[in-house]
Amino acid sequence: MRIVAWPPVGFMSRAPVVERPVARSQGLFSGARAVSSAGPARRVTSLSVSALSRSADVSRIKTNLIADARAAGTPITSALVRALEAQAREIARESRAGAGFMAQLWREIDGGVDLIRMSVCGDNWWMDQARSKARGGGYTAPLTWTTPTDPDLSWTSGGDPLRWFTGPVRIATTGTSADGYPTITLTGLPPNTIVARPDDVIRSYPAGANSETARAVTLAISDADGEVTIKLTSALPAGVISLQDMESVVFEVLGAPRGTQPVADNWALTVDLREVLPDEYAGATEVDPW
């Protein structure tokens, strides 16, 4: 079995739901209601993929352009990097390959035999998700360094590993709320500002361990001193916190992507997905053909 990376296509809409199966019964004589969980929760979603969207990975194109410039002996300056990024965005803008990507994805997964992996965010407005990745936003991720001879350049400070991040480095302390929910507390934030919304993905990067995620339970607003406590669905370890992050989830595709192409306009391809749990794809091979 293979797990194919989701292609770089744009969405026009999505309809995410978490299925939580329950078994219901009623007492024959008492009439008492009895309800219990009847299986694991699974995410299901229906996506509308834009056939003419900017369907290319800007970061990957930019990396290739920089590699070509370096191979040609061109000095890599900040001005050149900005110019190459603009060129990469223009290439991506003209790609219009959403429909083609979806057709090839259906071939890659052999009509649904294989699975796909994609990143999943919270159910809130996508614009807030986008703002979190802009300069000054709450999203952050580890930054890796490379050289032509060392693909994984490590840094140390005083003999200890030194970690770099793409965004703000805010280290959380952990705790428990009065009503029993796990919490994290952050300081140094802008005062009186919305920091997290219910269902936002919160990711912690603890030192020396893999990152973990949880969902925010309710609205979290910083106080006048820039401090906030976020209630979580599950406990996170203390570490560098990324807000409005994403989770990596494996899905099966329930039928061929479908849509009707008009003569002169964009169109949408509808794709239905159902989550596959980790113990159901153990030993699968991960591939990214894009």
pLDDT digits (tens, 9 = 90+) for 160-203: 788 888 888 999 999 999 999 999 999 989 899 899 999 999 99
Taking 70 as the threshold, does the pLDDT of residue 122 lie above it? yes
**Residue 31: φ, ψ to 5°:** 75, 10
pLDDT of 73 reads 87
Q: What percent of the chain is predicted at pLDDT more than 70?
A: 98
Distance from C-alpha of 233 to C-alpha of 57, rounded to nearest angstrom: 32
pLDDT at 55: 62
Query: What is the residue type of 9?
Result: V
Residue 288 pLDDT: 93
76, 69 contact by CB (below 8 A):
yes
For the chain, the C-alpha Rg in angstroms (whole number) is: 22
**Mean local confidence (pLDDT), 95-106:** 87
Residue 71 has pLDDT above 70, yes or no: yes
| CA 16/CA 246 separation, integer angstroms | 14
Determine the pLDDT at residue 33: 81
Q: Where are the alpha helices (DSSP H) in 116-258?
A: 126-132
Supply the pLDDT for residue 277: 93
What is the average pLDDT score of the chain?
Answer: 87
> Which pLDDT does position 148 carry in this prediction?
72
- Of residues 218 and 28, more confidence is placed in 218
- The whole-angstrom distance between residue 125's C-alpha and the CA centroid of its chain comes to 14
Please tell me the distance from the alpha carbon of residue 31 to that of residue 25, in angstroms, as a whole number.
9
Mean local confidence (pLDDT), 74-83: 89
pLDDT over 90 at 149, yes or no: no
Please report how many Cα atoms fall inside a 13 Å half-sphere around the Cα of residue 109, on the Cβ side: 26
Alpha carbons 195 and 168: distance in angstroms, whole number? 13
The better pLDDT of the pair 14, 194 is held by 194
Highest mean pLDDT among 62-71, 235-244, 265-274: 235-244
Residue 138, pLDDT score: 86
pLDDT band for position 56 (cuts 50, 70, 90): low
What pLDDT score does 117 carry? 95
Note the pTM of the prediction, 2 decimals: 0.76
How do the residues of the chain divide into helix, strand and coil, expressed in percent and rounded to 5?
A: 20, 35, 50
Going from the N-terminus, what domains does the chain have, and what CATH number goes with each?
1-55+95-121+247-290 (no CATH), 124-245 (2.40.30)
Q: How many CA atoms lie within 13 A of 46 on its CB side?
A: 5
